[in-house]
Amino acid sequence: MAIDPTLSTAALTAAETAINQTLLYDPGTRLALAQLEGQILAIDVSGPALTLYLAFNRDGLQLLGNFEGNVNTRLRGKAFNLAALIRGNNTSLASSGVEVFGSTALLAKLQTIARNIDIDWEEPLIQLFGDLLGHQSAEYIRWRCGYIQARLKTGLRLGSEFLTEENRSLPAHAELEFFYQQVDTLRTSTDRAEAKLQALLARINTPPSNTSQP
Amino acid sequence: MTEKQSIVDKQADHCIDQQQSETHFGFEQVNSSDKAGRVAEVFHSVAAKYDVMNDLMSAGIHRLWKRFTIEKAAVRPGHKVLDIAGGTGDLSFKFSRLVGCEGLVVLSDINDSMLKVGRDRLLDRGVAGNTQYAQLDAQYLPFPDNSFDVITIAFGLRNVTDKNMALCSMLRVLKPGGRLLVLEFSKPSNTLLEKVYDTYSFKALPLIGKLVTGDADSYRYLAESIRMHPDQETLKSMMVDAGFANPEYSNMTGGIVALHSGTKP
């Protein structure tokens, strides 16, 4: 069932406004996006079927539901795979479930821009609460975010160590790599043995050539 | 006579045949020559608070309908765009940014009050250089043949006295391959929605109009003119009769509004 254009346009408008309002507090990212002006990234989402286009300009980002010009890069995949790609730090699209068509340079530039996003939350807080309270609120939020990030990182590391080292319920990364290497070696050896076997069978099945002279 | 010339002549005959002596003004039958004057009175009355009323009546959704129209227009740098019944210039403002310095946008309206509001708004927003203003009747477009890449008419066609004649005139001034987009109120596809919409149009709209602009009659006309406007399929067939190729439409908000598009062959 097709989505009513009013709904899809409303969703895109809301997302675009939210992104561009946030980018107001990150002039570096806005400047970097402005350098991509004229380039278009298309995203074909399957399940639910949806195509959206990202255009870049001085004001930030433009999200479009319809576009008829030339597209520089097109990404195609399931919503889940695309979301995982955006959230992750993958440097390759291999086995990500996402196909890419056209120039990958735009994707690389966008990935760099996304990595360097640095939103200055202090400015909107100062506008809201005044210089003193705004600055202190921003300091507190920065400290709180840093604390949470550090705790999360430590928690993940400790959890991973417990599961792999103490409990032995999961293999360690190095063990997994070693296992994959062994599988690869076994596959190559099997391929080689199969090729040799085929060659032998071919030699056996070939009738001997008649070499007798009259 | 070539086949193409024969088709063009038939379309011209169709356009001339369609001129009628009587037409509707809301639910009222009036002389064709009187309709433009009656519509003008309505828009002179509402021009000053047109944008506020649009936001109030549609809860701001008219901005989404217009944004979808702009996307579908696929205007590119260098294009020449004619915005008929452009009113307060919502579409022209976006088009002027899209066509760039080499392009041209003509904001037009039959009503000078609306056009003045639109022109002032665009100038106040710094739009100049690639935008012109014209007071004109959509039935008699004062431009040479094959002048524009895109023509839009948003919430204006239902006020035109002779819609067939206007469509023929738009076809004439479009370049071959050029595109016409008609954004207009239409017929809701769901009967329940239609009932709710009818109640809202005939009870709430005149009341809002009276409270905000002190003019209930203009908004009663709005509701009546919407009901008298051709539905989606009828307007599509009118575009075919006028000579447009690839006519299609997209329903928005359950068919309360439809965007029709067609291309000049």
DSSP, residue by residue, chain B: --HHHHHHHHHHHHHHHT--SEEEETTEEEEHHHHHHHHHHHHHHHGGGHHHHHHHHHTTHHHHHHHHHHHHHT--TT-EEEEET-TT-HHHHHHHHHHTTT-EEEEEES-HHHHHHHHHHHHHTT--SSEEEEE--TTS--S-SS-EEEEEEES-GGG-S-HHHHHHHHHHHEEEEEEEEEEEE---SSHHHHHHHHHIIIIIHHHHHHHHHS-HHHHHHHHHHHHHS--HHHHHHHHHHHT-EEEEEEEEGGGTEEEEEEE--
Same domain, A91 and A183: no
pLDDT at position A135 is 86
Domain contains A147: yes
Total domains present in chain A: 2
Please indicate whether, in this complex, the C-beta atoms of B253 and A6 are within 8 angstroms of each other.
yes
The number of residues making up chain B comes to 265
pLDDT tens, residue by residue, A106-127: 888 888 888 888 788 788 888 8
Structure tokens at B209: 């109009």
Angle between helix A5-23 and B61-73 (nearest 10): 90
With CA atoms as reference, report the closest residue to B184 among B74, B72, B81, B261.
Answer: B261
Q: For position B3, what pLDDT does the model report?
A: 53
Dist. CA B52–CA B33, nearest whole Å: 31
Range of the domain at A68: 5-115
- B141 in Cβ contact with B173 (< 8 Å): yes
Amino acid identity of residue A179, one-letter, is: F
| Cβ of residue B9 closer than 8 Å to a chain A Cβ | no
- The answer to whether residue A204 sits within a structural domain is no
- Ranked by mean pLDDT, the top range of A23-27, A163-167, B117-121 is B117-121
Give how far A15 is from chain B: nearest CA, Å.
13
Q: Which residue has the higher pLDDT, A90 or B7?
A: A90
Residue for token pair 């001034």: B173
Residues 6+ apart with CB under 8 A from A76: A43, A44, A46, A98, A99, A100, A101
Which one of A6, A10, A64 has the shortest CB-CB distance to B71? Answer: A64
Cis status of the peptide bond prior to A48, with omega within 30 of 0: yes
Residues A10 and A107 in one domain: yes
Q: How far apart are CA B214 and CA B135, in angstroms?
A: 26
**One digit per residue, pLDDT tens: chain B, 265 residues?**
455 555 555 555 555 555 556 676 666 676 766 666 667 766 666 666 777 777 887 888 999 999 999 999 999 999 999 999 998 898 999 999 999 999 999 999 988 888 998 999 999 999 989 999 999 999 999 999 999 999 999 998 988 889 999 999 999 999 999 999 999 999 998 889 888 888 888 888 888 877 877 777 777 777 788 888 899 999 999 999 999 999 999 999 999 999 999 999 9
In this predicted structure, the answer to whether residue A12 has a pLDDT above a threshold of 50 is yes
Domain match, A110 and A130 both: no
What pLDDT was estimated at residue B133? 95
> Does residue A11 share a domain with residue A109?
yes
CB–CB of B154/B93 below 8 Å?
no
Query: Would the CB atoms of A13 and B71 count as touching at under 8 Å?
Result: no
Q: Which of A67, A86, A115 is the last residue of a domain?
A: A115
Place of tokens 């217009």: B66
Looking at residue A72, which CATH number applies to its domain?
Answer: 3.30.1050.10
> Are residues A52 and A108 located together in one domain of the fold?
yes
Asked if residue A111 and residue A9 are part of one domain, the reply reads: yes
Lowest pLDDT segment from A16-20, A159-163, B47-51, B179-183: B47-51
Of B64, B74, B76, the CB nearest to A10: B64
Interface mutation vs chain A, best among B63, B65, B71, B248, most A CBs within 10 Å: B71
Task: Among A98, A115, A132, give the residue marking a domain's end.
Answer: A115
pLDDT of B1:
46
Task: Give which of B68, B69, B90, B183 to mutate to test A binding, by max A Cβ within 10 Å.
Answer: B68
CB pairs under 8 A between A and B: 36
Residues A74, A166, single domain; the answer is no
Cα A35 to the center of its chain, rounded Å: 22
Query: What is the mean pLDDT of the segment spanning A32-38?
Result: 90
CATH architecture of B3-263: 3-Layer(aba) Sandwich (3.40)
Confidence (pLDDT) at B47: 67
**What does the pLDDT read at residue A1?**
60
pLDDT computed for residue A141 by the predictor: 84
Q: Are residue A66 and residue A135 in the same domain, yes or no?
A: no
Q: Are residues A132 and A178 in the same domain?
A: yes
Query: Chain B contacts of A64, Cβ < 8 Å?
Result: 71
Whole-number pLDDT of residue A137: 86
Residue A88 counted as domain residue: yes
Q: Do A68 and B251 touch (CB under 8 A)?
A: no
CA distance B239 to B223: 24
Residues A13 and A110 in one domain: yes
Q: Which of the pair, A165 or B184, is modelled with greater confidence?
A: B184
Q: Contact at 8 Å (CB) between B86 and B118?
A: yes
Average pLDDT over residues A25-38: 89
Q: In the prediction, which pLDDT does A91 show?
A: 60
| A111 and A127 belong to one structural domain | no
**Which one of B67, B253, B259 has the shortest CB-CB distance to A4?**
B253
Distance of alpha carbon B35 from alpha carbon B32, whole angstroms: 6
CB contact under 8 A, B68 and A6: yes
B184 forms bridges with which residues in the sheet?
B258
Per-residue pLDDT of A166-196, as tens digits, reads: 888 888 878 888 999 999 999 999 999 999 9
The residue ranges of every structural domain in chain B are: 3-263
Same domain, A107 and A128: no
pLDDT for the residue A95: 66
8 A C-beta contact, residue B159 and residue B227:
no
